[in-house]
Structure 1
């Protein structure tokens, strides 16, 4: 067994969640309607672009520590905690889904950070710290939009 197998497994779970999150965001971007269309169409594109970078970063981290990133949609669906959504056209449902997804992702990232720290995997620990810091701010902004 690979020394970091637990971390690899957790990162693959996170990778799966990010892939579902990414596809949810693409759907929101494509399908948003209503008075907030112009604002949210742009914001959703920004968020899915950032998410796509994180997908690559996580996969590369898995490779760096000796693992293989999962890389097909059935494995993502089988492994992810997040749930794919479809036919979301209204702003409030889209933003509430983003908030819920980010909350779950942040919890997972904090757990990975803690597990990585326990096995002296400072690279993974640092990566998760950076992700959490950025996403907590994003989460705050989307929650503020909902008020």
Structure 2
């Protein structure tokens, strides 16, 4: 078995890195959606949602960096072009959202998509005995489950 610099099987690490690159794409598209919600929100909830969406996009951009650095740690190259992101992201661009309902629903659906994708990658990372990726994803899952609960409470009509 051939191992990488951190002692993990190269083939298994390549699979984890490939999945993390897809997750990176989802995060990047969602980050831009969240920036759009922050910039374009209108209505009576402007002040509170404008601030909340800024909190979310600041957290997302930190996670983008952490995911890219994890890919590098595994010995691979993170994708860094939006043309690549748009091809593999599970989250689609959300253009033209400005109402509280549209922005909240977009945020809720985006976090749900990330949650599902991260759970899938968690299984791949666990099988690869990649505790670093497992830990990273577990932390994201835990915090995003709470965000989904809160967004669901704020937007009952967003429940699917």
Q: CA deviation at 1:43?
A: 0.1
Moved over 3 A (4+): none
- State the match for 1:66 in structure 2: 75
Aligned pairs for 1:132-143 (under 5 A) are: 132-143=141-152
- State the match for 2:25 in structure 1: 16
SS at match of 2:149: helix
Q: TM-score, normalised by structure 1?
A: 0.97
Q: Which has the larger radius of gyration?
A: 2
1:118 is aligned, of 127, 130, 149, to 127
Q: CA deviation at 1:87?
A: 1.4
Asked if 1:29 is matched to 2:38, the reply is yes
Alignment RMSD (CA, Å): 1.1
Q: TM-score, normalised by structure 2?
A: 0.90
2:105 is aligned, of 73, 78, 96, to 96
Aligned pairs for 1:39-50 (under 5 A) are: 39-50=48-59
Q: CA deviation at 1:133?
A: 0.1
Q: CA deviation at 1:54?
A: 0.2
Structure 2 CA distance for aligned equivalents of residues 27 and 104 of structure 1 = 18
Gaps of 5+ in 1: none
CA displacement 1:35-92 (0-9 Å, x = unmatched): 0000000000000000000000000000000110000110000111110011111001
- State the match for 2:7 in structure 1: none
Structure 2 CA distance for aligned equivalents of residues 35 and 63 of structure 1 = 44
Structure 2 CA distance for aligned equivalents of residues 74 and 121 of structure 1 = 29
Q: CA deviation at 1:93?
A: 0.7
